[in-house]
Chain A
């Protein structure tokens, strides 16, 4: 796999800046594993603000919905969250398969309300990285493989100037979930 045009560290720097700017705090206060909610006092509208800034910066579409919302839309209501608002075994299996690498595990019985507090800058870096990775090798407009960076963090075709047709964050999650189901990932936790 070729070296991505935008490095993980570069993404992290932008994530840190987006958080600091949205909250009007110093970037020094943001650490890769800070809980945005618990340690930085982020609220739901702030998440949207942070995402908006990242979208502008990378010219991508951040997810509008949480992973577990997608799970329920794809696999049915009640699959991830029980009637008391708690995570099911299936939710835990999916979450940990997808996000354990960011250092934030969940357990069955955990309240859905406690889930957003697990989001850290590292989670956002992963989301951006995954979206950027959906860039096709060649530009669909002119067929040339000549992606380059403009303005530091925005990619465009060096030949025709078109922007890459990244999948949106929601599409990335849905595709991941469908692949997870296809390879039998849901079975181990079937009730």
Chain B
């Protein structure tokens, strides 16, 4: 009935946006949740705590843990807390991301470091720290990527990190093959989340796209959930594009002679 019953799931960056929708979805599927947010004292902390409370009231276990994944010490501490709270981890959703929105030519060294430290190193820290808690049982890792990993978006250097991670997902899936831990990616299309506010600042044309160009958060979360169930155990090191058909129809939109 509940495909994730008794499983413990961590969703990084789950105070809002897609992360929060994925967390709700996993909770509805029976999982106990670890929510994660980057910054203490801000709005995301309040939102993560409110979401944890909501999930608890609906009968799940849920905790919200502050950790900036770009800091290895913070990641280690977060997984210690998960170990103390639940003693295990079955599902890891790598959703957190943070990036400057600049053209390549404008990126300062600290911008580059921020890109790499959060979106590449941070995800790897999480993967490494998760493994001991996933010991001895089948598990699922899902990396949340975006179309920016393969198509050009203006002022979106994050795309290059998404591409690097997509490559790493395949590598890691192969390494964990014998441990029955699946590692896959979901490549999301255009989402109507807070990130759209950012996107429309740097890419005004996005405001004129038809509704069909966007994919529902629920639709992305549903595929993430599927990859976190036993039914998907045969899928290893793959990336599923969930974009409501946007990239499939790319050539139809190309200007004709």
Q: Which residues of A contact B (CB under 8 A)?
A: 23, 37, 41-43, 45-46, 48-49, 51-52, 64-65, 69, 72-73, 77, 81, 85, 112
Contact = CB atoms under 8 A, between A and B. Distances in A.
Contacts of A52: 197, 200-201
Given A52-B197, A64-B202, A69-B108, A46 B102 contact: no
Contacts of B201: 48, 51-52, 64
Pick the 4 closest A-B CB pairs, nearest first: A45-B194, A41-B43, A49-B197, A43-B42
B198 A48 contact: yes
B41 interface: yes
A77 B197 contact: no
Given A23-B43, A64-B101, A65-B102, A45 B110 contact: no
A42 B43 contact: yes
19 contacts: A41-B46, A43-B43, A45-B195, A45-B198, A46-B43, A48-B197, A48-B198, A49-B197, A51-B201, A52-B197, A52-B200, A52-B201, A64-B102, A65-B102, A69-B108, A73-B108, A77-B108, A77-B109, A85-B110
A72 B108 contact: yes
A41 B41 contact: yes
Instruction: State which size class the interface on B falls in.
Output: 10 to 19
A79 B201 CA distance: 28
Contacts of B44: 43
Contacts of A73: 106, 108
A141 B108 CA distance: 38
Contacts of A69: 108
A147 to B, nearest CB: 24
Contacts of B195: 45
